[in-house]
Amino acid sequence: MSDEISARSVRNNADQGRFEIEVDGQLAVANYTIRGKNIYFTYTEVPESLEGRGIGNVLARTALDYARSNGLRVVPRCKFISAFIKRHAEYQDLVDTPAG
């Protein structure tokens, strides 16, 4: 992963309900909704031309770290976030419902 693609590059755009990162003039996002103490991840999108650079993983990790630091339970309705949690045991304790 290049230095430009790191958690420091991810913005939490709370007004739009998404974590976002701009790379090469394109926007990758992880959409969410917060209801009470739950954060629902609904959709993650990385432009095709940016795939394979670890951008989705950076978004997922940053979003899940945000959930942990804010005491939120995760409801992974997004297939990408769900798969990320399954691959990373350190985030499985955040899941409010089974990832999948």
d(CA 8, CA 31): 18
pTM of the model: 0.88
Six token digits for residue 83:
């798969």
| Phi/psi of residue 78, nearest 5 degrees | -90, 130
Q: What does the pLDDT look like over 39-78, one tens digit per residue?
A: 999 999 999 999 999 999 999 999 999 999 999 999 999 9
How many residues are given for the chain?
A: 100
Percent of the chain with pLDDT over 70: 88
Do the Cβ atoms of 36 and 1 come closer than 8 Å?
no
- Asked if CATH classification 3.40.50.620 holds for the domain at 7-94, the reply, yes or no, is no
pLDDT at position 8 is 78
Any idea where the domains of the chain sit in the sequence? 7-94
